[in-house]
C-alpha cells in the first residue's frame, strides 16, 4: 500500500502519532483529507490494524465517497476496506442490526407536515420559515432540555404544535429521521452494555473529519464508543460556523476535557492560498478569543490581487462584479468553477442575479437555489400587480383578497374558484347570492383602487398596495402572530422596491420577474462560469477568484448576531476569505434598502486597503 512521502513535517507527525486520543488542528488548505487517508493507510500497513477495526466518519456523503475513492486508489481496490460514512449512515447501520428495517421520513414529507401546521396559524408561510422550524426541531432533539425552555425561531406554542405533529406522524407510520438514528443508538448503548462493548471491541480506531461541526449528541456518542480506543479528530475551530445546528468550537479548544489524555497536533501550512490571502485571514481570525493558539504559514510566495471597493448602492456593486467577471472570462480565459460570488444571506443574491441577467453571465447555485421573488411577500405584491392588469386572474385575486382581512368567507372564495364562466373576479364575487351589502360596496371600492395600480408608476403602485390597500398592516399582524421581527419584513419590502428600480410600468416588471425566475431554473442544469452561494454553502471548497459582496455592518456581521455571536460571524467571514486561491474582491455599499450602512468591522480587522 502506497503511503505519501511528500507529507510535510506536521502532516507526517499526525499520520505517525502514537497518541491514543489526538486532535489535528487543520487550518484552511492544510491537507486534512490527505492526512486522514494516510493515517488510515499507516494504521493498516505499518501497524497491521485490520480494516474492519477502523471507521472514518464524515459530515457529508460526498466527503465519505471522496475519501473512500482516494483510499481505494491507494490500496488498489482491495475488498477489505474500513468504514467510510457519515454519522447518520454509521448509526443507521448499527441500529438496523438490532431493530430490523428502518424507514427514514422523506424530506418532502417533513416539509409538508410543518408547513401544514404553520398554515393553521398564519396566512402565508415561506420556504425559509419551514426550513427554520425543521432546523429548530433537529436542534431541539439533540439538546438535553425541556421544550418549554427551548428558544425557537417562532412562537413557542406554534413550535410545540409543529414538533408534536411531526413526531406523531413518524410514530404512527413507523418512521425515523436522522436525529432519531443517533438518539436511539445512544439509548441502545446505554441500555445494552453488551452491544456497547461489542462496538468498543470493533471500533478500535475512530477518525472524524470536520470535528468542529460535531454537536453535543455526536460528542457523547463518540465518547461512548471510543472508551479504551483511539480518537483521531481532524478539524478547525476557526471554521466552526454551524452553531444553529449545535456545533461549538469548545470541543476543539478543550479537547482534553472530552477525551481522556487528548493531545493536539497543529498542521501549519496553507497550500491553497496566495501569501497575502493567508496574511489577511490570520489578521482577521486573531481577533477571536475562543480558539487554539496556532501558527499558520503560507506555502506560496506569490501575491494575488486583493481589492476592497465601496459603492453607493447595491446596483453599482453588482454591476462592478459583473464587469470584473466579464473581464476574467474574456481576457483571462478562466475555466468553469474558477469564480465564486459569495454572500452572507440568500436575499443578497437578488441584485447579483439581476446584473448577471442583464450582462448575459451564466451562473449556477452551489448549495441550493434561491429565488427572492418566491418569498410570500413578493408573491402577494406581485399578485396585486397581476390583478391590476388582469381582473380575470382568479389565482391572484384569491391570494390577496383577505390580505388584509376583508371578511370574504372561505365558502365564497370556493364559489369564486369554481365559477364556470370566465369573468371579472370582482363581478363574480359581487354577484354571489346573499353577499352582504357592505361587502358589495367594499368590492367596488377595492376594484377601483386595484385598477388604478396599472395607471400609475410602478413605485407608486407598490406604495399604494402597502399603504392605501392595507398590506403593510396585514404584515404587521403577521409578525405579531408568528413572533417575527418587523425588520425582517421591512428588508424584504425594501429589496422588492429596489428590484422595481428602472421599471416604470407593471407589465415590463412582471416580464422581468418571469425572466429572472427562468434564469434560476436554467442555472440548475448550467455548466456555468460563475458559482453563486452563501458563505455557509462553500465550506470545504476553493476557487481561484472570489467575490464577497455587502461587507457591511448588519450583514456580516449580521445584526441578529451582534454582540452575542460575533466570533461565529468572524469565523464565517474567515471561511469566505480562505476559499480564495488567487484573487479576492471584497465589496461594500454605502446604502442598503434606503438605509445608510457602515463598512464591516471585519474589513478593518483584515487590514486591507480601501480603494
Say if residue 31 carries a ligand binding annotation.
Answer: yes
- Using an 8 Å Cβ cutoff, are 215 and 143 in contact? no
Please tell me whether 63 is known to bind a ligand.
no
Task: Determine whether 518 is exposed, middle or buried from the number of CB atoms within 10 Å of its CB (0-12, 13-18, 19+).
Answer: exposed
CB neighbour class for 550 (10 Å; exposed up to 12, middle 13-18, buried from 19): buried
Contact between 229 and 203 under an 8 Å Cβ cutoff? The reply is: yes
Residue 32 marked as a ligand binder: yes
Q: Do the Cβ atoms of 597 and 314 come closer than 8 Å?
A: no
Q: What DSSP designation does 234 have?
A: E
- Determine whether the annotation assigns residue 540 to a binding site: no
565 is in an annotated binding site: no
Residue 554 grid cell: 448588519
Residue 454 is assigned to a ligand binding site: no
Q: Is 594 annotated as a binding residue?
A: no
| Rounded distance between C-alpha atoms, residue 517 and residue 511, angstroms | 10
3-state SS, residue 540: coil
Distances (CA, A) of 369 to 219, 520, 532: 32, 7, 9
Q: Is 89 annotated as a binding residue?
A: no
Cis, peptide link before residue 181, omega less than 30° from 0: no
> How does 314-348 read in b/e, with b if 16+ C-beta sit within 10 Å?
bbbbbbbbbebbeebbeeeebeebbbbbbbbbbbb
Quickly list DSSP for 58-91.
Answer: ESSHHHHHHHHHHHHHHHTS-S---EEEEHHHHH
DSSP letter, residue 534: E
For 309-360, the three-class secondary structure string (H helix, E strand, C coil) is EEECCHHHHHHHHHHHHHHHHHHHCCCCCCEEEEECCHHHHHHHHHHHHHCC
DSSP-derived 3-state class of residue 263: strand
Binding-site residues from annotation for ATP:
26-33
Binding-site residues from annotation:
26-33
Amino acid at each position: 500500500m502506497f503511503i505519501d512521502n511528500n507529507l510535510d513535517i506536521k502532516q507526517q507527525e499526525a499520520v505517525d502519532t502514537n497518541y491514543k486520543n489526538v486532535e489535528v488542528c487543520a487550518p484552511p488548505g492544510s491537507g486534512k483529507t490527505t492526512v486522514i487517508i494516510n493515517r488510515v493507510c499507516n494504521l493498516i500497513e505499518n501497524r497491521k490494524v485490520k480494516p474492519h477495526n477502523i471507521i472514518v466518519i464524515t459530515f457529508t456523503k460526498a466527503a465519505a465517497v471522496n475519501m473512500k475513492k482516494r483510499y481505494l486508489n491507494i490500496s488498489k481496490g482491495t475488498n477489505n476496506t474500513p468504514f467510510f460514512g457519515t454519522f447518520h449512515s454509521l448509526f443507521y447501520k448499527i441500529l438496523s442490526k438490532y431493530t430490523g428495517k428502518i424507514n427514514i421520513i422523506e424530506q418532502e414529507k417533513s416539509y409538508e407536515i410543518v408547513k401544514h401546521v404553520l398554515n393553521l396559524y398564519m396566512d402565508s408561510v415561506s420556504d425559509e420559515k419551514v426550513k427554520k422550524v425543521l432546523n429548530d426541531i433537529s436542534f431541539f432533539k439533540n439538546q438535553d432540555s425541556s421544550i418549554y425552555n427551548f428558544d425557537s425561531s417562532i412562537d413557542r406554542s406554534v413550535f410545540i404544535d409543529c414538533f408534536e405533529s411531526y413526531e406523531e406522524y413518524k410514530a404512527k407510520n413507523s418512521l425515523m429521521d436522522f436525529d432519531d438514528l443517533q438518539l436511539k443508538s445512544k439509548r441502545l448503548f446505554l441500555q445494552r452494555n453488551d452491544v456497547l462493548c461489542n462496538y468498543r471491541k470493533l471500533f478500535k480506531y475512530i477518525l472524524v473529519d470536520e470535528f468542529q461541526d460535531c454537536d453535543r449528541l455526536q460528542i457523547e456518542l463518540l465518547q461512548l464508543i471510543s472508551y479504551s480506543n483511539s480518537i483521531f479528530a481532524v478539524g478547525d475551530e476557526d471554521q466552526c460556523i454551524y452553531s444553529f445546528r449545535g456545533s461549538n468550537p469548545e470541543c476543539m479548544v478543550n479537547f482534553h476535557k472530552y477525551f481522556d489524555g487528548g493531545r493536539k497536533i497543529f498542521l501549519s501550512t496553507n497550500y491553497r492560498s496566495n501569501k497575502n490571502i493567508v496574511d489577511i485571514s490570520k489578521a482577521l481570525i486573531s481577533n477571536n478569543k475562543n480558539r487554539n493558539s496556532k501558527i499558520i504559514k503560507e506555502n506560496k510566495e506569490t501575491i494575488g490581487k486583493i481589492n476592497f471597493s465601496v459603492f453607493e448602492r447595491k446596483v453599482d456593486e453588482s454591476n462592478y462584479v459583473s464587469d470584473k467577471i466579464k473581464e476574467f472570462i474574456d481576457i483571462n480565459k478562466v475555466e468553469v468553477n474558477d469564480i465564486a460570488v459569495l454572500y452572507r444571506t440568500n436575499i443578497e443574491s437578488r441584485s447579483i442575479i439581476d446584473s448577471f441577467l442583464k450582462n448575459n453571465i451564466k451562473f449556477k447555485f452551489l448549495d441550493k437555489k434561491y429565488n427572492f421573488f418566491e418569498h410570500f411577500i413578493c408573491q402577494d405584491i406581485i399578485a396585486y400587480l397581476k390583478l391590476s392588469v388582469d381582473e380575470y386572474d382568479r389565482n391572484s385575486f384569491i391570494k390577496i383578497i383577505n390580505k388584509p382581512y376583508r371578511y370574504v368567507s372561505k365558502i365564497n372564495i370556493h364559489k369564486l374558484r369554481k365559477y364556470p364562466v370566465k369573468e371579472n373576479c370582482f363581478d363574480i364575487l359581487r354577484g354571489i347570492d346573499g353577499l352582504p351589502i357592505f361587502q358589495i360596496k367594499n368590492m367596488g371600492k377595492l376594484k377601483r383602487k386595484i385598477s388604478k395600480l396599472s395607471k400609475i408608476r410602478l413605485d407608486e403602485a407598490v406604495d399604494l398596495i402597502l399603504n392605501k390597500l392595507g398590506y403593510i398592516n396585514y404584515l404587521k399582524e403577521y409578525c405579531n402572530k408568528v413572533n417575527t421581527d418587523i425588520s425582517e419584513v421591512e428588508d424584504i419590502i425594501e429589496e422588492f422596491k429596489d428590484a422595481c428600480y428602472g421599471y416604470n410600468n407593471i407589465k415590463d416588471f412582471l416580464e422581468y420577474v418571469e425572466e429572472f425566475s427562468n434564469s434560476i431554473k436554467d442555472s440548475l442544469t448550467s455548466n456555468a462560469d460563475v458559482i453563486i452561494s452563501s458563505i455557509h454553502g462553500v465550506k470545504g471548497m476553493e476557487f481561484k477568484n472570489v467575490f464577497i459582496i455587502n461587507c457591511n455592518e448588519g450583514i456580516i456581521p449580521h445584526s441578529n448576531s451582534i454582540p452575542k455571536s460575533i466570533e461565529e460571524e468572524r469565523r464565517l467571514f474567515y471561511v469566505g476569505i480562505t476559499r480564495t486561491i488567487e484573487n479576492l474582491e471584497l465589496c461594500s455599499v454605502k446604502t442598503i434598502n434606503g438605509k445608510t450602512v457602515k463598512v464591516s468591522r471585519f474589513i478593518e480587522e483584515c487590514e486591507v486597503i480601501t480603494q
